[in-house]
Structure 1
Amino acid sequence: MKTILSGRLVVGMFALFALLSFVPVAFAQPWPTKPIRLVVGFPGGSTPDGAARAIAQPLSKALGQPVVVDNRSGASGNIAADQVAKATDDHTLGIVINGNLTSAKMLSPNLPYDPAKDFTLLSTVGTAPLILVAQPDAPDGRAFFEAASAAGDKWNYGSVGNGSVAHLGMELLKSRVPGLAAVHVPYQGNPAVVVGILGKQIQMALIPPGVVLPQVAAGKMKAIGLTSGRSPLAPNVAPLADFGIKDFQLEVWTALVGPANLSPAAKDRLMKELTAILQDEAIRQQLFNQGWKAPSTASSTELQTRVRDETRIMQKIISSQGVKSNQ
């Protein structure tokens, strides 16, 4: 009898041990376990905000949790980028632009985050050329650059902030056009830059198509040229190369990133769902209508290459043009 009881006791203990060993697995919750905060460094109505909102709803549906867009404007998007860099869980993501990952540290050595170390790079969400726009009574093409060169530093240009592609792109343009010396006026977001042109505080700016094409169509602005080759985003606007400006190719882009400590499980799930979202024709059309060309698939490798290559380009612009953080 004792032998039987002892055997039963041993079997019972093994059964209890096996049950307890599976308890954590049974109660483990897959990511995400709560709402996701999607931080955007620019105001509502801006092009990064549009990209964020285009993916937020389908991402929420796919993940089964709310994805809340949180606009934290300022410092060319660096305030929002810093919040993402310092996030301590898997439920804070960010939509960033070129400058946050490429030129920010060069221009601001005391930047509170390190673009090279503090992020998990997920994927670009949209890319676009920039359009050089001016006041509606500005001359066209080559005549515009002749007038701008003759004006020297009497003209101003606007951008979404120091270190942005729009800012550094204009500095690159100044190096390509003899006599062009327009003074930089930073704004918090492209809508404010548009107001600056309409109010005649600035004479020109580099702005994404989605923001300015309606103004151009209404005759409130003039499109001078594109910072890339021909683009379906602005099919009626000629490249700047057509006016004799050589070696000038720039794009603006927006990307989804997480903090450096983003878990592999969260990253894998995000990449899977984002790829499906970016391949959805309705969402691609929504991004296109906002002035973005969506990538064919989510790719952290492509984003890493883009950041690396553009960082080198921006370094050359900053060094050659003597761009300072107080501009």
Structure 2
Amino acid sequence: MTMIPLVYHASYSKLALPSHHKFPTTKYANLRQYLFDNQLATPAQFHAPIAMTAQDVMQVHQKEYVEQFITGTLPTMALRRIGFPWSEALVERTLHSVAGTTLTASLAIEHGISLHLTGGYHHAHYDFGSGYCIFNDLIIAAQKVIAAKQLHSVLIFDCDVHQGDGSATLSHRHNGIISCSIHCKENFPSRKQSSHYDIELSKGVDDKAYIETVEQTLALLIRIHQPDLILYDAGVDIHQNDDLGLLNISQEGLFRRDLTVLSIAKSANIPIAAVIGGGYSRDALQLSQRHSQLFIAANHLW
């Protein structure tokens, strides 16, 4: 079995939020512990990112927006749209998590696969954040590896239940980034943007129809674009019991989706970097089990 590189930083779960807050900030630390407890990972597999600089973030996001976020001077309305109260811990977490996805992309190019225990901040736009997303780690990672590794193209394959609206708008600003979002039509955001490819699913879609859609879409995109790297958002908010999802996908369905995506990438000999994306539940153990399907699928193949 290949030692699959995993990326994590302690700041991911070090965010003090009000008790009623919907965002499951502890899920990253919980997932890491769950992987250890169930022999799905070892400490030797883990890589820690170094916080990204503001200058690097500004390659993708508006300078004024980046500066206001880092200095804590964003207007109240802008913070409300993001959904988090501002804190130094939020800045640290954000700069480490976007760096983590870039590190995951680089490790995938080197090893064929790499998995990030956060990421998928796909509602972040050029000059504003939204839906718990501040900076768009997927676009930043794609832009950085295209420049650094001289890649021809990077496919963002987003299977979170919500449309990657920020990735959609930002992908049109950068050459070589192809955005695809497979999402629930009736879910957030109410106003969708145009990705290069948008596959809209009606609420209540089940395992069979969903996995067929994922399989056919990814196979077609690889045939058309032959990307040098796939950035895969493996959001588990498609699960039937997710607090914010509207699809009807079982835990077995999560595993089969992840296995399908990773298998297609491996067969095509295209490196794949995965982020865990969204997943919302008050039950910490169930959330860890859902996110762990990605790691089980990767261990199965590598």
TM-score, scaled relative to structure 2: 0.30
Higher strand share: 1
Return the TM-score normalized by structure 1.
0.28
* Structure ranking higher on relative contact order (CA contacts 8 Å, 6+ apart): 1
Q: Which of these two proteins has the greater Rg computed from alpha carbons?
A: 1
